[in-house]
Chains A and B, each alone.
Chain A
Amino acid sequence: MEELSLADYLAILKWRKKYFFITFSALWCIALICALVWSNYRSTATVEIQQAQIAAEMTTPLGMNPLQGIEALADLRVSKIQQKVTSPSSLIDIVNKYDLYPTDRQVEPVTSIVGRMQGKIRLNLVGSTVANPAATEKVSVDQLSAIAFTLSFDYSNPQMAQQVTNELVTRFLDEDLKQRHAQAEATSDFLATQIAAMEASLADQEKKIAEFQKEHGAARPEALMFNQQAAETTMLGLQNLDSQLAANEGTMGQIRGQLAMVDPYSRVIADGQVLTTPAVQLKALQSQYTTLTAQYGPNYPDVIKIKHQIEALKSETGLKSKDTGRLKAQIEDMSTNLAAAENTQGPDSPDVISMRHQLSKLQDELAASYKSGGGSNPSDIKNDADNPGYLQLVAQLRSAEEQHKALIEQRSQLQTQQTKFQKAVAENPSLEQEMAKLTRDYDNAQLRYRDMKEKKMAADMEEQMIQDRKGQRLLVISPPDLPTKTSPSRGLIILGGFLFSLMGGIATVVLVQIINRNVLGSQHLASLVGVSPLVTIPHIYTKREAAKVRRRKPLMVFSSLFLVTATLLVVHFTVVPIDDLWIVVTHRLGLY
């Protein structure tokens, strides 16, 4: 393949002049004719999607970018409305109303005409994010208010084009308003039902929570700390009580001990005799009796006498002397004495034997008094004591006993409390979980509810704005114009035709060259054979040829002149009058 330089291309063009010119002229004539005959007029209206006059931030739901709020609707809405307005049925209405395409309607069915018509209606969005997504990210809502679209219609008659465009725009606006209303209403209704449902759900939740709290009362999870502390405190209290009880018992023991040592009866010395209460007397007699019995046996007359005294005294006082404490003490005394006597006097001495008798007698008595069922009163308190010291002690003992009782009572109370608190603490985790769940559900429900409420508010506002015409609406910025120029304008057709003819000419030349592939020019030849030609002999013109060429010249001149004139005429009548053009050009160039 040989490479062709620019010079070669020019050479080719020169060689194939004829082809070029013929093609060019033919196409150019066609273009001129087209320009003359072209009669497609386009009427365009511009409609702005005017932004709400109330700031968008107020009406968009929280969390939604105001830009998005606008954008999400603009493009979709416009195309939705477009579909409605340019639907076949709508267009058929228009065709009939304005009597469009009269000649076509006689031949074709209306539906196919309408199909073509749809192609002649153009809608272009201007300045929306669809066209320029990158820019709008940096742009504020106000700046974006340049969202608009153009609606245009092509027809062969300019007035008709204008009227139809006007009709389309009107329909557009009407449809938009209708749709907006419908949408706002639907949104509002939907939101209302949603809100009602939410409210019911919320009430339900609240009830559940209240129930739960009621059920578990003190064991409420939030009372955990309190419960724990209370358990602590009660435990401490219990410990305290226990120590108090112990102390009290100690005190009581002490008092009892003291009591045991103190003579319950006060010793009132009168007449050299000790006056004692009958109980004391009885006691003295009884001890006397035992001693004597031991010494002399039961049949001794003194012994019997004392026995009668005792019985008389007993019936007097009506007391059964459960003097086991005393008996015990006596037994102990006796044992000790016996042991001592045994040691000093030997086991067979008469004292020892009598002491033994006493001791066994005392033991029998003790056993008998036991048998007679006297639960030993450990305190062994004499009710008829009159010794103030003794009485004081008794009183102290009594109060200690009362205190003891109270302490025990307290203790048991505290114990129950503590059990309760401990139980509450133990139950806490599971309760906490449940409570957490319930509260969480509730909180979520609340959030949703709040959100719904906001949206509803926004929807209501939107509806209001539509009513007051303050919301987003379509506004005709420029009404459909009466086209004076065709679309595309004739000037453009001529220019385009020129370029096209040029290219057609070149294409023809190229085609011919490809088919013919001749050597063109000395350089081309050089590249083919490897050496430059020795000479390049130009075309030698014979006289005849020269004459022919000379004859051809005027023909060429004339045809070019014709083309130029034709062009000027066409331009004059269709684009701009030549004299105007001349003035403009000379003025511009400063030649005037």
Chain B
Amino acid sequence: MDSHDRKAIMDNLEKVLAKVKQQRAAVTPPGAADLSRSPLMAEKSPLPAAPKLATIDEAHLERHRILAHRTRNPDADIFRILRTQVLQIMNRSGYRTLAITSPNYGDGKTTIALNLAMSIALDLKQTVLICDLDLRKPNLYEYMGMEPTVGLSNYLIHGVPLRECMVRPPFDRLNTLPAGPALEYSSEILGSPKMAMLAHELKNRYPDRMIIYDMPPVLAQDDSAAFMPNVEAVLVVVRDGITRTDEIRQTVERLSNANIIGVVLNDARDAPKVKPPRIRKPG
């Protein structure tokens, strides 16, 4: 379909979302929203899933290099390899939470995080929740081609229930928790007990769900590293030819209290051509 239709659909989606939100807000008394209340209390039973986005703008995805859902793409194969490696490590130790970070902006965290999440979700029939924890410069949804109106910041500041902050993209088994509207003043939120509680909650709500946190860059925001104890595994992304050697060292130092399970070299100029794995999932 052409972009016009797509746009129309997107607009519709947004409107629907807004409406739903309003309804929800109308249902629950504003005063009832209490910051101290556990998000668990808000929903005793799983509510029907949030409205699904109909389709995703492929061109948009392509422009942002999101391609893990493609079947015969060699780059997508690479993400599959990454996925295999990561899952191997995580399953061995029983991890379910993974943070992806990098020294600086522009290293490719979000791209990799999203691709990895999609790869896991689409191919292994495993539910994945990807959270955007960069509250200052949220960009997860930008990659997906949407402008979310709800997100983590709503939850943190206004106490909007978590469930309402999540958005389901039109991908099977993939759920997203956007950052929400940007918070300019958000230092040390990530290290706060509230965040710790949140991480705990997210992990325990669905035992078989995998959670991927798209962290802000370690050297750009201090509290990124502070959040790491809440996560079982950390993956560090490094950009070939851009990241400096001292930055890498600094990053590793700051993540000394995190469990780094590996590094990924992104944007390598001389990467050897990778053969796609033999066994392929049909489709």
Report B64 CB to chain A, min CB distance, Å. Answer: 8
Q: Of all chain B residues, which has the CB nearest A539?
A: B267
Q: Of all chain B residues, which has the CB nearest A534?
A: B262
The contact string, 1 if C-beta is below 8 Å from chain A, for chain B 221-242, is: 0000000000000011010111
| Given known contacts A521-B268, A538-B268, A543-B62, A516 and B244 CB-to-CB distance under 8 angstroms | yes
| Given known contacts A534-B82, A536-B265, A519 and B240 CB-to-CB distance under 8 angstroms | yes
Judge whether B264 and A528 touch: CB under 8 Å: no
Stretch of B33-41, B131-139, B174-182, B246-254 with 4 or more beta carbons under 8 angstroms from chain A: B246-254
Judge whether B45 is part of the interface by a CB distance below 8 angstroms.
no
Judge whether B67 and A519 touch: CB under 8 Å: no
Judge whether B280 is part of the interface by a CB distance below 8 angstroms.
no
Q: Of all chain B residues, which has the CB nearest A7?
A: B270
A533 in complex: contacting residue of B86, B245, B264, B267, CB < 8 Å: B264
Judge whether B241 and A15 touch: CB under 8 Å: yes
A2 in complex: contacting residue of B235, B245, B252, B266, CB < 8 Å: B245
The majority secondary structure among interface residues of chain B is mixed
Judge whether A518 is part of the interface by a CB distance below 8 angstroms.
yes
Q: Of all chain B residues, which has the CB nearest A10?
A: B270
Which chain A residues in 534-550 approach chain B with CB under 8 Å? 534-540, 542-544
Judge whether B248 and A525 touch: CB under 8 Å: yes
Report B247 CB to chain A, min CB distance, Å. Answer: 9
Judge whether B85 is part of the interface by a CB distance below 8 angstroms.
yes
Residues of A near B65 (CB, < 8 A) are: 540, 542
| Given known contacts A533-B265, A537-B82, A518 and B242 CB-to-CB distance under 8 angstroms | yes
Residues of B near A540 (CB, < 8 A) are: 65, 67, 75, 111, 267
Residues of A near B63 (CB, < 8 A) are: 542-544
Judge whether A528 and B240 touch: CB under 8 Å: no
Residues of A near B195 (CB, < 8 A) are: none
Chain A residues within 8 Å of chain B by Cβ, number: 26
Judge whether A529 is part of the interface by a CB distance below 8 angstroms.
yes
Judge whether B249 and A528 touch: CB under 8 Å: yes
Judge whether B198 is part of the interface by a CB distance below 8 angstroms.
no
Report B151 CB to chain A, min CB distance, Å. Answer: 27
Report B50 CB to chain A, min CB distance, Å. Answer: 30
Judge whether B271 is part of the interface by a CB distance below 8 angstroms.
yes
Judge whether A519 and B243 touch: CB under 8 Å: yes
The majority secondary structure among interface residues of chain A is mixed
Judge whether A14 is part of the interface by a CB distance below 8 angstroms.
yes
CA distance A542 to B245 in the complex (A): 28
Which chain A residues in 512-570 approach chain B with CB under 8 Å? 516-522, 525, 528-529, 531, 533-540, 542-544
Q: Of all chain A residues, which has the CB nearest B267?
A: A539
Judge whether B108 is part of the interface by a CB distance below 8 angstroms.
yes
Judge whether B81 is part of the interface by a CB distance below 8 angstroms.
yes
| Given known contacts A516-B244, A519-B248, A525-B265, A538 and B78 CB-to-CB distance under 8 angstroms | yes
Residues of A near B117 (CB, < 8 A) are: none
Judge whether B270 and A518 touch: CB under 8 Å: no
Judge whether B269 is part of the interface by a CB distance below 8 angstroms.
yes
Judge whether A197 is part of the interface by a CB distance below 8 angstroms.
no
Residues of B near A535 (CB, < 8 A) are: 78, 81-82, 85, 264-265
Judge whether B238 and A537 touch: CB under 8 Å: no
Judge whether B112 is part of the interface by a CB distance below 8 angstroms.
yes
Residues of B near A522 (CB, < 8 A) are: 265, 268, 271
| Given known contacts A537-B78, A537-B112, A538-B75, A520 and B248 CB-to-CB distance under 8 angstroms | no
Judge whether A11 is part of the interface by a CB distance below 8 angstroms.
yes
A531 in complex: contacting residue of B62, B243, B263, CB < 8 Å: B263
Residues of A near B81 (CB, < 8 A) are: 535
Residues of B near A528 (CB, < 8 A) are: 245, 248-249
Q: Of all chain B residues, which has the CB nearest A543?
A: B62
| Given known contacts A517-B244, A518-B242, A518-B243, A537 and B268 CB-to-CB distance under 8 angstroms | yes
CA distance A521 to B242 in the complex (A): 11
| Given known contacts A516-B244, A520-B241, A540-B67, A534 and B268 CB-to-CB distance under 8 angstroms | no
Residues of A near B248 (CB, < 8 A) are: 519, 525, 528-529
Judge whether A537 and B270 touch: CB under 8 Å: no
A537 in complex: contacting residue of B243, B249, B252, B264, CB < 8 Å: B264
- Of the A-B pairs whose beta carbons lie under 8 Å apart in the complex, a sample of 6, sorted by A's number, is A518-B244, A529-B236, A529-B248, A535-B82, A540-B75, A544-B63
Interface residues of B, Cβ cutoff 8 Å to A: 62-63, 65, 67, 75, 78-79, 81-82, 85-86, 108, 111-112, 235-236, 238, 240-246, 248-249, 252, 262-272
Interface residues of A, Cβ cutoff 8 Å to B: 2, 11, 14-15, 516-522, 525, 528-529, 531, 533-540, 542-544
In the A-B complex, list the 3 residue pairs whose CB atoms are closest, starting with the nearest. Answer: A538-B271, A534-B262, A533-B265
